[in-house]
């Protein structure tokens, strides 16, 4: 069975095309927007969904999961696991670097601290991307501890440093234009709404001017609270529009960014991974000119897998389970001789895509495969 080739370029572009090529992708974006409105739980659920999509892509599966396969519980668990891992990878270096900056300012070395501002920002940005790699590693193994396999994660980051650099640059560029996207609605919609609030309540401006004209020694705590409430009344429309624009922007950015990490991790032959402490297989070095149909249509060949071909008397790889298991994980392949005469080709009952014995999901349509659902054709 053909596998998608690994392409070390255009991660964001390919992730975007992968996202928008799926049937009903607009509905997925709407659901993400609605989920992001829910504080904490909704955000964790969206993170979990994105991590699961990235995990499937790292396995080589290009299509979205079958409807109903990724439940709320699965997404919340993956989101919480990924958040804990990513937070630790980003928070610790951020805390250390910001502490160094504060100490330099305290020692009146503000010039050195200012010189370090940009390098610190770049390091934190890099840590955020590596943190997602670690979080995806934990998602693949379904264990938080796998997110702190420092040696393996650093090895992957070092080997694929050029790909990560491309993702970081894409994140920076998209983030720059994203901030513009968020700011425009706040300026053109939020500010007129704030002006409308002032027009409706004419006394609001006079009261704000009066309170702001008072000196600090005269203002009471009640007046200070009143001033904050009045300012919030004016700024609330701008804040709401800015918040909604940020949610819409994040609904597109989250899947694309996480899926780009999955595309990057595909080079490490996830299907052949063993335990967390085992030595990783050599990364996939295949590179061809990028072709959308070739990369994302490779599983739709309709060809019978070579290892289950009746005319092929070679050893059939036996599927073992020395691998993190979950709803989508496929077992690890280890070579072992098997009698080929009793092996029949297997196909997905939903789309007819060829299956490797032991597959728990179709790599084309995402349908979860139960043993009794294997079909011979």
Count, in order, helices (H) and strands (E) of the chain: 12, 4
pLDDT given for residue 198 in this prediction: 75
Question: Do residue 264 and residue 135 come from a single domain?
Answer: yes
Is the pTM higher than 0.75? The answer reads: no
Question: Do residue 207 and residue 174 come from a single domain?
Answer: no
Question: Do residue 224 and residue 308 come from a single domain?
Answer: no
319 membership: H or E segment, kind and range? strand 318-320
pLDDT given for residue 228 in this prediction: 82
Question: Do residue 21 and residue 154 come from a single domain?
Answer: yes
Evaluate whether residue 21 is within a structural domain: yes
Question: Do residue 132 and residue 106 come from a single domain?
Answer: yes
Question: Do residue 48 and residue 153 come from a single domain?
Answer: yes
Buried b (16+ CB within 10 A) or exposed e, 141-176: bbbbebbbbeebbeebbeebeebbebbbebbeebee
CA 23 centroid distance within chain: 20
Question: Do residue 311 and residue 332 come from a single domain?
Answer: yes
Question: Do residue 45 and residue 160 come from a single domain?
Answer: yes
Q: Distance between CA 167 and CA 53 in Å, rounded?
A: 17
Over the chain (377 residues), the average pLDDT of each successive run of 10 is: 66 92 90 94 95 90 75 92 94 90 86 88 87 93 92 90 91 89 85 80 75 69 80 86 92 94 90 79 49 34 29 29 38 41 57 68 65 48
How many domains does one find in the chain? Answer: 3
Question: Do residue 106 and residue 28 come from a single domain?
Answer: yes
pLDDT given for residue 190 in this prediction: 83
**Burial level of 52, CB count in 10 A (0-12/13-18/19+)?**
buried
Question: Do residue 92 and residue 27 come from a single domain?
Answer: yes
């Amino acid at each position: 069975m053909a596998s998608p080739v690994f392409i070390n370029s255009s991660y964001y572009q390919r992730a975007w095309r992968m996202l928008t090529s799926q049937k009903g992708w607009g509905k997925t974006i709407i659901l993400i927007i609605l989920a992001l409105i829910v504080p904490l739980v909704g955000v964790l659920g969206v993170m979990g969904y994105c991590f699961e999509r990235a995990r499937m892509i790292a396995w080589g599966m290009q299509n979205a999961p079958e409807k109903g396969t990724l439940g709320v519980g699965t997404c919340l668990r993956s989101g919480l696991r990924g958040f804990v891992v990513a937070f630790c990878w980003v928070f610790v270096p951020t805390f250390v670097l910001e502490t160094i900056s504060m100490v330099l300012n305290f020692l009146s070395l503000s010039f050195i601290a200012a010189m370090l501002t940009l390098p610190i920002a770049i390091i934190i940005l890099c840590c955020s991307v590596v943190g997602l790699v670690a979080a995806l590693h934990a998602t693949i193994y379904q264990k938080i501890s796998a997110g702190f396999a420092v040696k393996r994660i650093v090895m992957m980051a070092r080997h694929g440093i050029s790909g990560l650099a491309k993702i970081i640059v894409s994140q920076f560029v998209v983030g720059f234009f994203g901030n513009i996207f968020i700011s425009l609605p706040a300026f053109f919609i939020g500010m007129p709404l704030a002006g409308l609030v002032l027009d409706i309540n004419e006394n609001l401006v006079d009261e704000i001017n009066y309170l702001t004209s008072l000196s600090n020694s005269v203002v009471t705590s009640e007046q200070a609270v009143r001033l904050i409430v009045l300012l919030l009344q004016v700024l609330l429309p701008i804040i709401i529009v800015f918040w909604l624009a940020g949610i819409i922007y994040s609904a597109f950015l989250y899947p694309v960014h996480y899926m780009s990490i999955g595309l990057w991790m595909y080079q490490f032959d996830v299907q052949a991974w063993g335990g967390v402490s085992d030595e990783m297989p050599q990364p996939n070095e295949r590179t061809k000119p990028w072709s959308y149909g070739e990369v994302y249509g490779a599983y739709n060949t309709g060809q019978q897998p070579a290892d289950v071909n009746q005319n092929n008397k070679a050893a059939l790889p036996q599927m073992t389970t020395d691998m993190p298991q979950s709803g989508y994980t496929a077992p690890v392949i280890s070579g072992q001789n098997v009698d080929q005469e009793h092996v029949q080709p297997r196909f997905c009952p939903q789309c007819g895509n060829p299956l490797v014995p032991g597959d728990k999901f179709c790599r084309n349509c995402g349908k979860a495969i139960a043993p009794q659902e294997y079909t011979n054709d």
